[in-house]
């Protein structure tokens, strides 16, 4: 494996700030990865994404393998060239979406067979096929092992059976990944909310050995308290010198709480999804631009941000665009939200480096509107 | 009236190229005005619109008076500030949309009462109210008189009655407009496809005296041949030293044919509407990006254009975005189309200045795909 250098530049309590060095660029951590599901961060040009300060974006194997197909992306020069993003890309394994297809999939030890939500066509995903798609066809920089995202709630037995399958798939993923100089492979800790199972999962992954470790199976309905407890139980099991990635999380407060517990990387569709639905994120929580109180509010969303969507457009104008269901409203709010998330990560990195992260988190929690 | 200076820099047959000088900037003619119906050129940032070379955009009085309301735009600093476009804006009178509201409107000599398509609320538009909305509340640079867009087909009697109402409204519009130093008022020639009525309309408008003259009531179903004949019949009636604006037109070939017949200004929703529906315009006609033949086409839409949407993205990627119904596909194709239209106008201006417009038009006609 590539074993991308990971420099820890600062530690403050459990919170860490550092740099993961990849051939396509440095990822400053804690990092938030905007999600580019179908080879596009929804509504945004890659230059706009880049301008927000994002070092890395995420691509979804499930969506891309179905359309335009991984083989076609390969023939067109790989995912970076296809979508014109020249920075690092992390791809998920496809497992999360496939396991969400209740009734349309058949699970076996070897892998999972499923039907496309687009046209009902039959497809197969195994640890080996996922690696092939991510590493060989899409050309991802950070490849995720195929795992089973254990549903919530799960009994101890169910969660144990599930994590063991994921662990075996982790071994097969690593074998399929082999020696690659310019790409990295991350393993995924499962085990639901059971600390003993999280330990078992982490120990098995460490035996296999990965370039980074994701915490999977959270933000699936267990609630914030259980999520944070599980992160707390898992974090000490993970090697200090490798990045830790909390998958699919989350709201700004979730990022702050998870960073406080030692997480380095995040991804979530929330900034762009909220943007398409008229919501702007802020330190005080989400702002619903559709609300009539903004109809003559001449102030911008956040004058401190360089992003034009944040600092150059009046809320009254954004309100109008949302009410009129104008495309530009979706674009501007998505752009602001991605910029806000990146700024939040930058502020957290700064606070950790300065040794003031505890105070930062305290102020952040206190500043949230009651909701 | 402001009587914006209009410099004719070149004439080639009936085609003209020049500069209309406004306090907010010079409009190079022949000019195409992208349509910003609801205070946004759909899907595009104003910087993107500006980068395509657009000197002026159009705003719709009907849409803006209903939402966010002209009074609110005024309180927020006027339309330019509201939407962050600092160049010239031409607004229509609202009449065209109101007269499209069959069954929802009551016409009188004084003006027209109608119900909003948004919420059924009752509104009134008269020549005086339209001027107030455009000039005082929105702060438009080029204001259009309220007219009745004569429907097609119309009998000679119907068309005569209609144009005379528009002519009387033109007189009232000019009186309401009064003396303004930084804004201009255009009259609108009606008369359906009857040359004698076009003459009567033009003569009445010239008696009143306007800063520019629009040709209205075309592109409403009469067909291209009748449209071009009517332009040919109308153009000699209009003063050489004032700009002529063909409202609501059109496809690229329509622009070429109308420029060949002496038209200086155009507006149309087609570039952005086509873009939202997966179509890209070219000298060969519209390209339907949804077509499977583009699924592995690695070439850009038009490498000669500076617009990133035209020259930096492969058709295969645009095809994918259109198929996946991604917002970014709508944005990129709208952007390309606006850029293509602006480039077409620039090429026409260049050909007229060089005295080669006849050849340009011949090649353009010949280059169109059979369709």
- Local confidence band at B5 (pLDDT 50, 70, 90 cut-offs): very high
Inter-helix orientation angle B224-234/B195-208, to 10°: 40
Rounded to the nearest angstrom, the gap between the alpha carbon of residue A134 and the centroid of all alpha carbons in its chain is: 16
Instruction: Supply B280's token pair.
Output: 């890209």
Chain A residues near any Cβ of chain B (below 8 Å): 38-40, 42-45, 47, 67-68, 72, 75-77, 82-84, 276, 295-296, 298, 308, 312-314, 316-317, 319-321, 323-324, 326-328, 330-331
How confident is the model at residue A1, as a pLDDT? Answer: 52
| pLDDT tens-digit series, residues A292-342 | 999 999 999 999 999 999 999 999 999 999 999 999 999 999 999 999 999
Whether the CB-CB separation of B343 and B53 falls below 8 Å is answered with yes
How many angstroms separate the CA of residue B40 from the nearest CA in chain A? 7
Asked if B77 lies within 8 A of A298 by C-beta distance, the reply is: yes
Chain B residues near any Cβ of chain A (below 8 Å): 38-40, 42-45, 47, 67-68, 72, 75-77, 82-84, 276, 295-296, 298, 308, 312-314, 316-317, 319-321, 323-324, 326-328, 330-331
Cα A117 to Cα A107: distance, rounded to the nearest angstrom: 17
Asked if B295 lies within 8 A of A42 by C-beta distance, the reply is: no
Q: Is pLDDT of B99 > 90?
A: no
How confident is the model at residue A163, as a pLDDT? Answer: 97
Q: Residue count of chain B, please give it.
A: 371
Backbone angle region of B328, left / alpha / beta, with phi > 0 → left and psi within -120 to 50 → alpha: alpha
Rounded to the nearest angstrom, the gap between the alpha carbon of residue A23 and the centroid of all alpha carbons in its chain is: 20
Q: What is the pLDDT averaged over residues B49-74?
A: 98
Whether the CB-CB separation of B357 and B12 falls below 8 Å is answered with yes
Q: Is pLDDT of B10 > 60?
A: yes
Asked if B317 lies within 8 A of A82 by C-beta distance, the reply is: yes
Residue of chain B whose Cα is closest to the Cα of A74: B296
Instruction: Supply A151's token pair.
Output: 């549903």
Choose the catalytic residue: A92, A254, A264, A302. A92
Mean pLDDT of chain B: 96
What's the Cα-to-Cα distance from A346 to each of A36, A49, A83, A160, A305, rounded to whole Å? 21, 15, 25, 37, 12
Cα B293 to Cα B319: distance, rounded to the nearest angstrom: 9
Q: Is pLDDT of B83 > 80?
A: yes
Asked if A296 lies within 8 A of B72 by C-beta distance, the reply is: yes
How confident is the model at residue B242, as a pLDDT? Answer: 98
How confident is the model at residue B2, as a pLDDT? Answer: 57
Cα B305 to Cα A342: distance, rounded to the nearest angstrom: 32
Chain B hits for A47, CB-CB cut-off 8 Å, are 308
Whether the CB-CB separation of B20 and B8 falls below 8 Å is answered with no
- Local confidence band at B370 (pLDDT 50, 70, 90 cut-offs): low
Asked if A43 lies within 8 A of B328 by C-beta distance, the reply is: yes
**Which positions of chain A have pLDDT values less than 50?**
371
How confident is the model at residue B100, as a pLDDT? Answer: 85
Q: Is the ipTM of this complex over 0.95?
A: yes
- HEC profile of chain B: CCCCCEEEEEEECCEEEEEEEECCEEEEECEEEEEECCCCCCCCCHHHHHHCCCCCEEECHHHHHHCCCHHHHHHCCCHHHHHCCCCCEEECCCHHHHHCCCCCEEECCCCEEEECCCCCCEEEECHHHHHHHHHHHHCCCEEECCCCCCCCCCCHHHHHHHHHHHHHHHHHHHHHHCCCCCCEEEEEECCCCCHHHHHHHHHHHHHHCCCEEEECCCCCCCCHHHHHHHHHHHHHHCCCCCCEEECCCCCHHHHHHHHHCCCCEEEECHHHHHHHCCEEEECCEEEECCCHHHCCCCCECCCCCCCHHHHCCEHHHHHHHHHCCCHHHHHHHHHHHHHHHHHHHHHHHHHHHHCCHHHHHHHHHHHCCCC
Q: What is the pLDDT averaged over residues B215-222?
A: 95
Cα B171 to Cα A191: distance, rounded to the nearest angstrom: 80
The residue to which tokens 């939407």 are assigned:
B83
Asked if B39 lies within 8 A of A82 by C-beta distance, the reply is: no
Cα B225 to Cα B105: distance, rounded to the nearest angstrom: 31
CA angle at B366 for the pair B364 and B369, rounded to the nearest 5°: 95
Rg from Cα positions in chain A: 20
- Lowest-confidence pick of A338-342, B55-59, B118-122: B118-122
Rg from Cα positions in chain B: 20
| pLDDT tens-digit series, residues B330-339 | 999 999 999 9
Nearest one of A351, A15, A5, A363 to A212, comparing CA atoms: A5
How confident is the model at residue A100, as a pLDDT? Answer: 85
| pLDDT tens-digit series, residues B158-197 | 999 999 999 999 999 999 999 999 999 999 999 999 999 9
How confident is the model at residue A2, as a pLDDT? Answer: 57
Asked if B312 lies within 8 A of A39 by C-beta distance, the reply is: no
Chain B hits for A314, CB-CB cut-off 8 Å, are 76, 82
Instruction: Tell me the CA end-to-end span of chain B in Å, nearest whole number.
Output: 45
Closest partner CB to A42 (pick from B44, B296, B327)? B327
């Amino acid at each position: 494996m590539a074993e991308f250098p990971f420099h820890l530049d600062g530690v403050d309590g459990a919170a860490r700030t550092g740099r993961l060095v990849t051939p396509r660029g440095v990822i400053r951590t804690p990092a938030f990865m905007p999600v580019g599901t179908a080879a596009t961060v929804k509504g945004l040009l890659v230059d706009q994404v880049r301008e927000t300060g994002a070092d890395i974006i995420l691509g979804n194997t499930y969506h891309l393998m179905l359309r335009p197909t991984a083989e076609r992306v390969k023939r067109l020069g790989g995912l970076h060239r296809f979508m014109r993003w020249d920075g690092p890309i992390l791809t998920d394994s496809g497992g999360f979406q496939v396991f969400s297809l209740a009734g349309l999939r058949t699970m076996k030890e070897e892998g999972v067979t499923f039907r496309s939500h687009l046209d009902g066509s039959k497809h197969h995903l195994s640890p080996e096929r996922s690696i092939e798609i991510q590493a060989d066809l899409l050309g991802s920089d950070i490849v995720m092992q195929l795992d089973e995202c254990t549903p919530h709630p799960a009994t101890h037995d169910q969660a144990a059976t599930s994590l063991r399958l994921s662990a075996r798939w982790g071994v097969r993923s690593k074998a399929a990944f082999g020696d690659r100089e310019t790409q990295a492979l991350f393993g995924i800790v499962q085990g639901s909310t059971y600390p003993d199972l999280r330990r078992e999962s982490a120990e098995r992954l460490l035996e296999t050995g990965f370039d980074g470790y994701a915490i999977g199976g959270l933000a699936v309905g267990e609630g914030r308290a259980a999520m944070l407890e599980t992160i707390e139980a898992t974090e000490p099991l993970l090697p200090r010198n490798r990045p830790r990635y909390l998958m699919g999380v989350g709201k700004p407060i979730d990022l702050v709480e998870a960073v406080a517990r030692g997480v380095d990387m995040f991804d979530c569709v929330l900034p762009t999804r909220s943007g398409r639905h008229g919501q702007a994120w802020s330190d005080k929580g989400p702002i619903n631009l559709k609300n009539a109180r903004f109809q003559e509010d001449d102030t911008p969303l956040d004058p401190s941000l360089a992003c034009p969507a944040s600092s150059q457009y009046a809320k009254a104008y954004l309100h109008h665009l949302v009410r009129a269901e104008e495309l530009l409203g979706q674009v501007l709010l998505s752009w602001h939200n991605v910029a806000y998330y990146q700024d939040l990560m930058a502020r957290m990195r700064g606070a950790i480096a300065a040794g003031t992260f505890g105070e930062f988190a305290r102020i952040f929690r206190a500043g949230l509107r009651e909701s």
